[in-house]
Structure 1
Amino acid sequence: MILELMPYRGCYPIFKLVYSAAANASHNKGFKETNLVISKAEVNQGNTVKKLKPRARGRSYPIKRSTCHITIVLEDISLYQQYEEYLMYLKKPGCSNENINLTCYDTYSSGGLWDKK
């Protein structure tokens, strides 16, 4: 919401990137978009595009346009809530561990759909 309303030039591409990562997570992994949280966002240096601009007397002037790679990692907070409920269930006396089915995805090391560049 904040990225959508800020007047800076780089806000709109980052806004589109966050929504695209959330849409990929909901479509490919089946997570709800309301439970997703940005756990890591980093910007790394990308390629540099080098051009030559013509100047007076047949000379040229180098232009370097730098690019960047933006990586956004999303986490599902509902998995943490299920894990906490699972731990609370295990601490109760006389419970069996056979009825609990907890599915966790390691979002950071799996890469793939979670890292949007």
Structure 2
Amino acid sequence: MTKINKQESEVKAVRKYVRMSPHKVRRVLDQIRGQDYQKVVMLLEFMPYRACKDILKTVQSAIANAEHNYGINKDNLYITQAYADKGPVMKRFQPRAQGRAYKILKPTCHINIFVGPKS
């Protein structure tokens, strides 16, 4: 999904239903917020977290959207906003002793990345 905010000329990319807790994604997003594109790619490639893979795909999608749809040079872009919203929780049950059931919650999240040109 691509959207541009005309007032601030931001381009948006969203990755939905990522099978990961939003809390774990936010700790990576806090590190890349406000950084320029080349630095973000380098950080995400070398961070040891599983969330980096999905965040990197979303950042690359936002950069491609800005280049292709709006003609903005990728060398001039930086991350203006980055946040993770909670998605639906998948509920599963594990059989336990004496006929009981143990609830397993599998969280999902939606990753939102905004990129914009440097002023």
| Unmatched segments (≥5 aa) in structure 1 | 81-117
> CA RMSD of the aligned region, Å?
1.4
Determine what percentage of the aligned residue pairs are the same residue: 47
Matching residue within 61, 68, 85 for 1:20: 61
Matching residue within 62, 70, 73 for 1:32: 73
- 1:76 maps to 117
Q: Which amino acid aligns with 2:93?
A: L
Partner Cα separation in structure 2 for residue 20 and residue 41 of structure 1: 13
1:48-104 deviation digits (Å, cap 9, x = unpaired): 111112223332111111111211111122xx3xxxxxxxxxxxxxxxxxxxxxxxx
| Unmatched segments (≥5 aa) in structure 2 | 1-41
Which of structure 1's runs of 4+ aligned residues deviate more than 4 A? none
TM value normalised by structure 1: 0.60
**Larger CA Rg, structure 1 vs 2:** 1
- 2:90 maps to 49
TM value normalised by structure 2: 0.59
Q: How does 1:84-103 map to 2 (within 5 A)?
A: none
Q: Which has the higher contact order (CA 8 A, sep 6+)?
A: 2
1:19-69 deviation digits (Å, cap 9, x = unpaired): 111111111111111111111111222211111122233321111111112
